Amino acid sequence: MKVEDILNECIERVMGGESIEACLARYPEHAPELEPLLRVAVATATASQVEPRPGFKAEARYRLQAALQKPRRRRFALLRGQPKWVGAVAGVLLLFLAGSGTVVASASSVPGDVLYPVKTATERVRMAFARGDEARAELEIAFAERRAQEIVVLSERGRVEKVDAVVDRLTTHLERVKVRDIEVDKKVDRLKALLEQGSARNVKLLEGVAERVPQPVRAVVTRAMKRSDRGYEKAMVAVGAPSIELSVSAKAVAPEKALGTIVVSNEGKRAAEVAWLRGSLQWESEGGLWHPLATRFKSFPALEPGTTIPAAQALQLSYEVLFIAPEQAKKLRHVVEVKIVDRERVFRQATDFEAYEGEAGQ
Amino acid sequence: MQQEKDLVEAARRGNGDAFSQLYEDYFDRVYRYIIFRVGSQEEAEDITEEVFLKVWQNIASFKWRGVPFSSWLFRIAHNQVVDHLRKRERRKGVPLDEVAVADDVDLDASLDFQLSVEKLVAAMGRLTDAQRRTLALRFAAGLSLSETAQAMGKSEGAIKALQHNALAALRIVMSAEAGG
């Protein structure tokens, strides 16, 4: 057996966890020659276990993703000898036709995945080729829904650190939903409908995931849901739809009595007509479940049909409510819902308040 | 191994998720191989990125034919290193950077010498290119003897001889430096 064979065997053994001495004991006649070489081998292997700089791997992955946007060169073999613009147009067509496995695979990617930049690049290409404000606005609405789906995937995978950035992008899409003139643009109704449907789907998606994920993640999803909702409402206002912001405060002034205030603000650019206004109380049991409370509103605001709130103005309503709370109810919640004409959705606001603790000294 | 074969096949068809997995599996080893060859963190980072880009661009043309994927990948890494060193030679005088060695590395106190990667790379400068490449593939990239042989297009016997000669030469260089 040649010495290089023995050396290699010992290297394999030492790398596998055996000590240098144990291996030398197998070949005592070669030990004097083997030992220094094995020590150099171990020192070489040890010194070369360099860790990539923190962050480099992630940065490199990100840049690689960007490079992956370009279809592989061999796809263009058919285009050799053609003018450059042919290749460029073909590249765009590939993106559009989703003929590339990369583009197809990228559709379900989320931030942090190798193919995510392919997805966003495809979106940019689609946006660049969209003609007219309305077409671009429709794409922005569609992409906002994609962002909501990404939030779901990220939350389910526990990669919550990326959620806020995706919500930023979601709201940016919605901020770009604009039309030149909401008074004359006949297609505004379509945008309103798309936004309304998109908003409803996103709420459903995010509420669904919030129920499935553990508490720390749920808090992130809930925040995302609120920011997403505000984003949709701003977009609705931008296309001329009425929008409401609700503010509710309540305080228990006796064991079975609370006083509350509701402020209904019209965030839109035109007067908003209130279709109905509802209020209810709930109590929280062990485990964070909320249950309805038997209530009797003594002076809950009864709005006349056709009540309107002028643009940029608010309606303030005070009320008194009587209720019977169970002994174990420490936290109560007042839920107010408002429906306005011309909007599909119901605006809802829930505000917690403490159960009555009695007068000081009692 | 079958799993890697499946990943490579999927990546060949353009599956980005599969390629992403291969990237995760090989990234550190490719980086180590390259820094071992060029000695500069900054340059190693650039080349590592280029290697994975090349791999993605060319993976569709990869054919098994008895060659492991790792051997093919490290051939690409080698070509990129050679290309880089050639360009560097034209520019001349690129210093070795400080590089971080993993915290969990526990050098055996009984070793005659402890190597930093800079010293190692400097000492390797005295070896032949084939010797350097053998050590980089075996110890930095962690390839098996067979994978190293296929990456270098040589027999396993030839790699054993190269490995032996490389370690012997490295020992002489290091001893000379330690002795002053």
pLDDT tens per residue across span A168-226:
999 999 998 887 665 555 677 888 888 999 999 898 889 888 888 888 888 899 999 99
CB atoms within 10 A of CB A228: 25
A84 inside 8 A of chain B by CB: no
B108 inside 8 A of chain A by CB: yes
**pLDDT grade, residue A1 (50/70/90)?**
confident
pTM: 0.48
pLDDT of residue A72: 53
The answer to whether the Cβ–Cβ distance between A43 and B111 falls below 8 Å is yes
Of B90 and A155, more confident: A155
pLDDT of residue B130: 92
Q: Give every CB contact of residue A275 below 8 A, 6+ residues apart in sequence.
A: A305, A339, A340, A341
Q: List chain A domain ranges.
A: 3-47, 56-238, 244-354
B89 inside 8 A of chain A by CB: no
Could you give the number of structural domains in chain B?
1
Please give the backbone phi and psi of residue A349, each rounded to the nearest 5 degrees, phi first: -140, 130
Architecture of domain A244-354: Sandwich (2.60)
Mutate to test the interface with A, among B19, B20, B135, B146 (most CBs of A within 10 A): B20
Q: Which residue in chain B has the smallest CA separation from A48?
A: B140
Residue ranges with strand state E in chain A: 244-254, 257-266, 272-284, 290-292, 294-297, 308-309, 314-324, 331-340, 347-354
The answer to whether the Cβ–Cβ distance between A44 and B48 falls below 8 Å is no
A181 inside 8 A of chain B by CB: no
Residue B49 lies in a domain: yes
Of the listed ranges A264-273, A332-341, B11-20, the least confidently predicted one is B11-20
Q: Which domain holds residue B11?
A: 2-97+108-178
Q: Are A74 and B58 in contact (CB under 8 A)?
A: no
How far CA A128 is from CA of A140, A235, A283, in Å, comes to 12, 21, 51
Examine the pLDDT at A239 and tell me if it is beyond 80: yes
What is the rounded distance in angstroms from the CA atom of residue B105 to the CA atom of residue B102? Answer: 6
**pLDDT grade, residue B91 (50/70/90)?**
low
pLDDT of residue A300: 63
CB atoms within 10 A of CB B46: 16
Element containing residue A300 per DSSP (H, E): none
Mutate to test the interface with B, among A10, A40, A61, A68 (most CBs of B within 10 A): A40
Tell me the HSE value of A60 on the side-chain side, using a 13 A CA sphere.
Answer: 24
CB-neighbour burial class of residue A8 (10 A; exposed 0-12, middle 13-18, buried 19+):
buried
Closest CA to A114 of B44, B45, B24, B117: B24
Examine the pLDDT at B146 and tell me if it is beyond 90: yes
Residue B150 lies in a domain: yes
Of the listed ranges A18-22, B22-26, B92-96, the least confidently predicted one is B92-96
Please give the backbone phi and psi of residue B29, each rounded to the nearest 5 degrees, phi first: -70, -40
**pLDDT grade, residue A53 (50/70/90)?**
confident
pLDDT of residue A97: 45
Please give the backbone phi and psi of residue B17, each rounded to the nearest 5 degrees, phi first: -65, -40
What are the chain A neighbours of B35 within 8 Å (beta carbons)? 48, 50
Q: Give every CB contact of residue A125 below 8 A, 6+ residues apart in sequence.
A: A92, A95, A96
What are the chain A neighbours of B107 within 8 Å (beta carbons)? 43, 46
User: How far off is chain B from A229, nearest CA to CA, in Å?
Assistant: 32
Query: Running DSSP on this structure, what letter comes out for residue A75?
Result: G
Per-residue pLDDT tens digits for A62-78: 777 666 655 554 433 33
pLDDT of residue A94: 44
A39 inside 8 A of chain B by CB: yes
User: How far off is chain A from B87, nearest CA to CA, in Å?
Assistant: 22
B155 inside 8 A of chain A by CB: no
Closest CA to B37 of B82, B76, B73, B69: B82
- Please compute the mean of the pLDDT values over residues A117-141 and round it to a whole number: 79
Closest CA to A87 of A98, A72, A101: A72
Residue B103 lies in a domain: no
CATH number, domain of B61, equals 1.10.1740.10
pLDDT of residue A80: 41
Of B100 and A51, more confident: A51
pLDDT of residue A332: 87
**Range 2-61 of B in CB contact (< 8 A) with A:** 13-17, 19-20, 23, 27-28, 31-32, 35-36, 41, 45, 48-49, 52-53, 56-57, 60-61
The answer to whether the Cβ–Cβ distance between B16 and A49 falls below 8 Å is no
CB atoms within 10 A of CB A304: 6
Give the residue ranges of DSSP H helices in chain B: 2-12, 16-38, 41-58, 69-91, 117-124, 129-135, 145-152, 156-178
